[in-house]
Amino acid sequence: MTVLADRPHMTIESFEEAARIAARMEEGARLEFIDGKIRSKPMPDGDHGRIIEWLTRICMQSRPELWLYPDQGLKVQEYRKGRARPDGSLASSGAFVGQGEWADPAPVLMAVEVTSYDSDTDGRDRTEKPRAYAETGIPVYLLIDRDSCEVTVFSEPDGVRYENAHTVPFGKAVELPDPVGITVETAPLKDWVR
């Protein structure tokens, strides 16, 4: 069955209520709503968490006025009709104060996703998320791909897609372009993959 983005089977309000209920359950499910479809993000493993910790430290050392917010829900896609929960959202300290679970993405300089070892990673992190973040106008999308042991930096969103995608293997330095303006040495990532 194909679900069209302009005719989702569920309203945003119904999705947000379902996400609140799922988050209160024992396992704390993390739901997203992209292209009119509900997706469940797997709970992060220890290496996933260590990667976000590592990247947070790099961002703090390079740009202390910024913070890498883990799991902040964002209103994404055209007309903000989608809901995504990036593994990290780089924005000014205090950018989401008072905004609740699903925040306006305007202050986000970079969205970060770290792949999980599940069957939805390809569609979710490599296809749907780059498109959703580009449509939203998030300047940089950083994909840390633990399956391929590569880092891809997407930049220059045109409202439909990112015009630039630069991929390097773990172990090489990668430049996070402006407005982020940070160079990341990726060698430590080799220690946090299966």
Domain ranges of the chain: 43-192
* Paired residues of 150 in beta bridges: 145, 169
> Scanning the structure block, which residue is given the tokens 């005719």?
7
Q: pLDDT digits over 141-170, tens only?
A: 999 999 999 999 999 999 999 999 999 999
CB 141 within 8 A of CB 110: yes
- Rounded Cα–Cα distance for residues 58 and 63 (Å): 8
Q: How far does CA 190 lie from the centroid of its chain? A: 21
Banded model confidence at residue 27, pLDDT cuts 50, 70, 90: low
23-31 average pLDDT score: 63
- Rounded Cα–Cα distance for residues 102 and 73 (Å): 4
The CATH number corresponding to 43-192 among 3.40.50.12780, 3.90.1570.10, 3.40.50.920, 3.30.160.110 equals 3.90.1570.10
> Over pLDDT 90: what percentage of the chain?
65
> Over pLDDT 70: what percentage of the chain?
90
* Paired residues of 81 in beta bridges: none
User: What pLDDT does 1 receive?
Assistant: 33
67-93 average pLDDT score: 93
Which H helix or E strand runs over 57? helix 46-62
User: What pLDDT does 120 receive?
Assistant: 74
Q: Is 58 exposed, middle or buried (0-12, 13-18, 19+ CB in 10 A)?
A: middle
- This prediction has a pTM of 0.85
10-17 average pLDDT score: 78
User: What pLDDT does 4 receive?
Assistant: 44
Which H helix or E strand runs over 19? helix 12-24
- Rounded Cα–Cα distance for residues 3 and 149 (Å): 32
* Paired residues of 75 in beta bridges: 83
187-193 average pLDDT score: 96
Q: Check whether 124 has a pLDDT greater than 90.
A: no
